[in-house]
């Protein structure tokens, strides 16, 4: 038996990186979430070779103070929570303080940031050594994070990367999912020098619907029913496609809980059930839905990627989602009368 020894910080970070940094798309998700948490109004994503060679996210958010830069890149360092209690009602997308440390342990990371008060500073960290180098730089208020050569020092991980096309597509999905979560924020996406998407901040409902149509396709929007239903402390709004626009796969289903994209069995079940009598069982509904509830009644600290949540009162949430959609679909139900008994 070998002797017990402490893992080096670098190795500990690389192991932790396995949980949050699976592929380029997971890096983009973490970087964009940081930019949104920093109150940005406009985000630009630049990619080279499906993100494997380069991923750059530029934002116009709060920026990071010079003295906080080394901390931003170190593990378990966050500005978003202080006490365990804060997790009860966490409103930010991040809070684990792991993303930048994890990413910089498996790639070459550079972060340039300005809070607007003085000039900008740049911090660099490379997988090989976790020392952060700080130097003066030029940047308007906000932050630009550059991640180069993902997995350059972890060949085993690098082998799992798919083609440039596939990795790009995954990133595009992440950007779309986040663009649907924040209509008030502008998003741009460029790949190999070509601007692929550009969504300006959408203020009005027609502008929001235009963004949804661009992301989910014009056919979705044409067949979509807008809903907005509120019941003591719960609100669900968004768009559900009428059964005429059902899918052979569950590939057009966006569900957000307090602005966070999630995949959840309870939610899927409630939606399925609402569609049960209007949709053939081999077909899948398409929707973009936003559930809003008291942050204290949902636990987001279930999984490192935060794709899963746990509802304090799952049964109530289930019945609310089911009855709201069931009600909304009344006009297409055989018989056509609204049935509010649920």
Q: How far is the CB of 322 from Mg ion (least distance, A)?
A: 33
Q: 205-236 burial, b for 16+ CB within 10 Å, e for fewer?
A: eeebbbbbbebbeeebbebbeebeeeeeebeb
By the 10 Å C-beta count (0-12 exposed, 13-18 middle, 19+ buried), 340 is classed as exposed
Which one, 47 or 100, has the nearer CB to ligand ADP? Answer: 100
**Dihedral sign for Cα atoms in the order 149, 152, 157, 162:** positive
Tell me, residue by residue from 9 to 48, as one string, x for binding to ligand ADP by CB under 6 A and - for no binding. Answer: ---------------------x---xx--x----------
Q: Taking CB within 5 to 8 Å according to partner kind, which of Mg ion, ligand ADP, none is near residue 95?
A: ligand ADP
Q: How many degrees, rounded to 5, is the angle at CA 229 between CA 208 and CA 221?
A: 35
Q: How far is the CB of 326 from Mg ion (least distance, A)?
A: 37
By the 10 Å C-beta count (0-12 exposed, 13-18 middle, 19+ buried), 48 is classed as middle
Q: Taking CB within 5 to 8 Å according to partner kind, which of Mg ion, ligand ADP, none is near residue 110?
A: none
Which one, 44 or 78, has the nearer CB to Mg ion? Answer: 78
User: Which residue sits closest to ligand ADP, CB atoms considered?
Assistant: 94
Q: Which of 14, 105, 143, 324 binds ligand ADP (CB under 6 A)?
A: 143
**Residues of this chain, 30-89, that bind Mg ion according to CB under 5 A:** 34
> Can you read off the two tokens belonging to residue 327?
């009600």
List beta partners, residue 135. 122
**CA–CA separation, 278 and 275 (whole Å):** 5
Tell me, residue by residue from 94 to 113, as one string, x for binding to ligand ADP by CB under 6 A and - for no binding. Answer: xxxxxxxx------------
Q: How far is the CB of 78 from Mg ion (least distance, A)?
A: 7
Q: Which of 10, 41, 53, 80 binds ligand ADP (CB under 6 A)?
A: 80
> Can you read off the two tokens belonging to residue 160?
């799992």
**DSSP result, 228-275:** EEEETTEEEEEEEE-GGG-BSSS-SEEEEETTEE---HHHHHHHHHHH
Residue found by looking up tokens 């910089």 in the block: 104
Tell me, residue by residue from 85 to 114, as one string, x for binding to Mg ion by CB under 5 A and - for no binding. Answer: ---------x----x---------------
Which one, 98 or 164, has the nearer CB to ligand ADP? Answer: 98
Which one, 114 or 154, has the nearer CB to ligand ADP? Answer: 114
Q: How far is the CB of 153 from ligand ADP (least distance, A)?
A: 19
**CA–CA separation, 103 and 280 (whole Å):** 44
**DSSP result, 276-321:** TTTS-TT-B--EEEEEEE-GGGEE-TTSTT----EETTHHHHHHHH
Which one of the spans 14-22, 46-54, 55-63, 265-273 is the region binding ligand ADP (CB under 6 A)?
55-63
| Radius of gyration of the chain measured on its C-alpha atoms | 22
# binding residues, ligand ADP (CB under 6 A): 23
* 74 counts as binding ligand ADP under rule CB under 6 A: no
Chain residues that interact with Mg ion, rule: CB under 5 A: 34, 94, 99
Chain residues that interact with ligand ADP, rule: CB under 6 A: 30, 34-35, 38, 59, 61-64, 72, 77-80, 94-101, 143
């Amino acid at each position: 038996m070998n002797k017990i020894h402490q893992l080096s910080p670098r190795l500990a970070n690389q192991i932790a990186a396995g949980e949050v940094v699976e592929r380029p798309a997971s890096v983009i998700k973490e970087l964009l979430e940081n930019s949104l948490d920093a109150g940005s109004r406009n985000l630009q994503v630049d990619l080279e070779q499906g993100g494997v060679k380069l991923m750059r996210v530029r934002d116009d958010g709060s920026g990071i103070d010079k003295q906080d830069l080394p901390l931003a890149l170190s593990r378990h360092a966050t500005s978003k929570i202080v006490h365990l209690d804060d997790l009860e009602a966490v409103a930010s997308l991040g809070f684990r303080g792991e993303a930048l440390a994890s990413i910089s342990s498996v790639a070459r990371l550079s972060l340039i940031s300005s809070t607007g008060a003085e000039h900008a500073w740049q911090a660099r960290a490379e997988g090989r050594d976790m020392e952060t180098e700080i130097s003066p730089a030029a940047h308007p208020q906000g932050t630009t994070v550059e991640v180069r050569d993902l997995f350059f020092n972890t060949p085993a991980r690098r082998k799992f990367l798919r083609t440039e096309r596939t990795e790009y597509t995954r990133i595009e999905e992440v950007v779309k999912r986040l663009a649907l979560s924040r209509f008030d924020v502008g998003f741009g996406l460029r790949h190999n020098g070509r601007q692929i998407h550009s969504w300006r901040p959408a203020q009005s409902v027609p502008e929001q619907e235009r963004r949804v149509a661009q992301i989910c396709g014009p056919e979705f929007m044409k067949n979509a029913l807008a809903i907005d239903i509120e019941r003591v402390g719960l609100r669900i709004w968004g768009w559900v496609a009428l059964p005429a626009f059902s899918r052979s796969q569950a590939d057009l289903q966006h569900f957000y809980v307090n602005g966070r994209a999630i995949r959840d069995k309870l939610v899927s079940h409630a939606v399925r059930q609402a569609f049960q009598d209007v949709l053939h069982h081999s077909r899948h509904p398409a929707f973009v839905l936003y559930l809003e509830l008291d942050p204290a009644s949902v636990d987001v600290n279930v999984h490192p990627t935060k794709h899963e949540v746990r509802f304090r009162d799952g049964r109530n949430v289930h019945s609310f989602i089911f009855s709201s959609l069931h009600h909304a679909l009344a006009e297409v139900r055989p018989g056509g009368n609204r049935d509010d008994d649920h």
